[in-house]
Amino acid sequence: MLSKLFFNQTLTIKIIQNRQIMQHINKNSYKNIYFDLDRTLWDFQSNSEQTLSELLEKYAPELMPRIVEFLKIYHQVNEVLWIKYREGELSKELLRTQRFIDTFTAMEFPCNGICEAMSIDYITESPLKTGLFPYSLEILEYLKQKGYRLFLITNGFSEVQDVKIKYSGLEPFFEKMITSEEAGYQKPHRKIFEYALKTVNARKNESIMIGDDLENDIFGAQRIGMDTVFFNPLKISHRQNTTFEIASLIDLKYIL
């Protein structure tokens, strides 16, 4: 039954094929595993949406019937502003408030101090949420027991990411979390990956990067010659070359 399940899934076939190749050429060569945090282990989407709906209920309950629209606009706006932040066109502080201002403006609802308050509450409340992707803790336990050194590389803000890993129970598994604020560069810049290796005395040919973002995690790590695992739970189609690809974190057992 197990094998039937595997062979019904293209992704798993790819993993098995790659695994066979890997076992042939460099079995057990990895020592250091770098995980992305948001949308790879920490379920950013569900944690964020839970927080936003609680805040809307608190500050603008009359908009609750339009919650689906609110979330959709917020995500679109946030994505645009994050690009500007990444390109240095927007400060962290402005990004945090502007995403609410733009969302309310698009919904033609007066902000009147709500945006400021929601922005502050969101930063405090959202990292306290504990939703993780299925098998996160199981796979980290497995990898830890196998003796791998585990690290996080994240573009999020240090003070926010610290809270997330503490509350969600991820912290004990990781030797270090490298944030873009600490490294001075954002993924996919090669310097954050070089810093992540150097700061913990890891070699790139003994290291592998696992993440959900083809540009930031996969392309970024590939730039410095690191192997990669693309975490693709929605099974989106793409043309990027990755060392491995998985749809569920538990599939890492076939690779590591």
Binding site for Mg ion (CB under 5 A): 36, 38-39, 212-213
Cis-peptide, bond into residue 188, ω within 30° of zero: yes
Do 38 and 79 meet the contact criterion of CB atoms below 8 Å apart?
no
Minimum CB distance to Mg ion, residue 100 (Å): 22
Minimum CB distance to Mg ion, residue 251 (Å): 17
Do 137 and 169 meet the contact criterion of CB atoms below 8 Å apart?
yes
Nearer to Mg ion, 213 or 251 (CB): 213
Q: Which residue number places its CB atom closest to Mg ion?
A: 39
- CA–CA distance, 60 with 122 (Å, rounded to integer): 14
Instruction: Return the axis-axis angle of helices 44-59 and 67-86, rounded to nearest 10°.
Output: 120
**C-beta contacts of 75-81 below 8 A and 24+ residues apart:** 77/102, 77/103, 77/106
- CA–CA distance, 214 with 193 (Å, rounded to integer): 15
Minimum CB distance to Mg ion, residue 82 (Å): 12
Minimum CB distance to Mg ion, residue 212 (Å): 4
Q: CB under 8 Å to 111, separation ≥6 — which residues?
A: 100, 101, 104, 105
Minimum CB distance to Mg ion, residue 116 (Å): 28
Nearer to Mg ion, 43 or 213 (CB): 213
- CA–CA distance, 96 with 115 (Å, rounded to integer): 9
Nearer to Mg ion, 6 or 131 (CB): 131
Minimum CB distance to Mg ion, residue 157 (Å): 14
SS3 112: coil
